[in-house]
Amino acid sequence: MNQGKLQSGLAQSTAERDAKHAARKQWGENPCGAHVAGGLEFGTLEFFEAIERYRYQVYAPWMKEVIGFDRHGGKRLLEVGCGTGTDLIQFARGGALVTGLDLTPRSLEIARRRFDLYGLAGEFANGDAENLSFPDETFDVVYSFGVIHHTPDTERAAGEIYRVLRKGGQAIVMLYHRTSLYYWGGLMLKRGLLRAELLSDSPAAIMSRYVEHTETGGRPLVKAYTREEAFRLFRDFGQCEVRVNQLTRAELGFAGRLLPEDALRRLAGSLGWNLIIKATK
């Protein structure tokens, strides 16, 4: 290997390490969903129930139907990036045999506490989406919602999901959608052009600054994908469907208050912030 290639490889490795360190810092200091349970004692039943209400009633009321938490009873299910266990506990309540993996030790501590409070069984592991510590064909379902677009090598993470799935198993993955109203309107137009942040920052830097909730100035790596790019990431799977969802009335301003529910759903199906990938091995 020549000196130029060696230096490039070292720089890439350093950048990848830095990105994963930033992810641990972000969700160690800002546990997923905790900001919507302000005023409640951390780690109590009331605290966790407030997070659930917000997630499934306010932020994404479509999630329970689309994800199908109760459709995997008796199956071995891995969540890559389980955070504080909000979605994982829904699968457990539906009868799945769940394992939660996360890069952030604090998130796993909170998830374990949550399962203990509700008297539910689950296994937990600290690990990296790009290097899953499970044998080939271990799980019937692998779920990952809003996680692998934060890791440097998202394609490798998709390959690891494929590897640990059994033949006929299903991957359910959410990635951020670049062809969305939030990306172009809320980030690139509002932040990038009207506030002139694109003069000094890249689109990736703007996403890093604004996409994830932070009270401590966290700047995790954030990527967004088109539908075509999502299909390419999951091209090894026998079947793959990619749907779009997640658009709130607040994002539409005054028009959002007037829009009929059916029209909002149609808009969400094309301009929403989430790509929901369901792929069968």
What mean pLDDT do residues 237-246 have? 98
Q: Name the percent of the chain lying above pLDDT 90.
A: 80
215: burial class by Cβ within 10 Å (0-12, 13-18, 19+)? exposed
* DSSP class per residue in 8-34: HHHHHHHHHHHHHHHHHHHHHHS-TTG
Q: Name the percent of the chain lying above pLDDT 70.
A: 96
**Residue 162 Cα distances to 62, 74, 129, 262, angstroms:** 26, 20, 12, 35
Please state, rounded to an integer, the average pLDDT across all residues of the chain: 93
Say which residues have a Cβ less than 8 Å from residue 234's Cβ, sequence separation at least 6: 158, 162, 171, 173, 240, 277, 279
Query: Using an 8 Å Cβ cutoff, are 140 and 169 in contact?
Result: yes
Query: Using an 8 Å Cβ cutoff, are 269 and 235 in contact?
Result: no
118: pLDDT strictly greater than 60: yes
Give the per-residue pLDDT at 12. 54
What mean pLDDT do residues 127-137 have? 97
Give the per-residue pLDDT at 22. 80
Query: Using an 8 Å Cβ cutoff, are 108 and 124 in contact?
Result: yes
What are the pLDDT digits (tens) for 133-171?
Answer: 999 999 999 999 999 999 999 999 999 999 999 999 999
Q: Where are the beta strands (DSSP E) in 57-198?
A: 76-80, 97-102, 123-126, 139-145, 165-176
What mean pLDDT do residues 210-237 have? 94
pLDDT band at residue 216, thresholds of 50, 70 and 90? Answer: confident
Give the per-residue pLDDT at 3. 43
Distance CA 34, CA 191 (A): 25
279: pLDDT strictly greater than 70: yes
Q: What is the CA radius of gyration of the chain?
A: 19
What are the pLDDT digits (tens) for 52-61?
Answer: 999 999 999 9
213: pLDDT strictly greater than 90: no
Query: Using an 8 Å Cβ cutoff, are 55 and 33 in contact?
Result: yes
Residue whose token pair is 């959002």: 256
10: pLDDT strictly greater than 50: no
The gap from C-alpha 117 to its chain's centroid, in whole angstroms, comes to 24
Nearest CA among 107, 112, 163 for reference residue 281: 163
Give the per-residue pLDDT at 7. 41
In DSSP terms, which residues pair with 245 in a beta bridge?
A: 274
Q: N- to C-terminal Cα distance for the chain?
A: 37
* Least confident range of 198-202, 203-207, 250-254: 250-254
Distance CA 40, CA 184 (A): 35
Give the per-residue pLDDT at 218. 83
CATH H-level, domain 18-280: superfamily: Vaccinia Virus protein VP39 (3.40.50.150)
In 3-state terms the chain splits into helix, strand, coil percentages (rounded to 5) of 50, 20, 30
What are the pLDDT digits (tens) for 61-104?
Answer: 999 999 999 999 999 999 999 999 999 999 999 999 999 999 99
Give the per-residue pLDDT at 5. 39
pLDDT band at residue 130, thresholds of 50, 70 and 90? Answer: very high
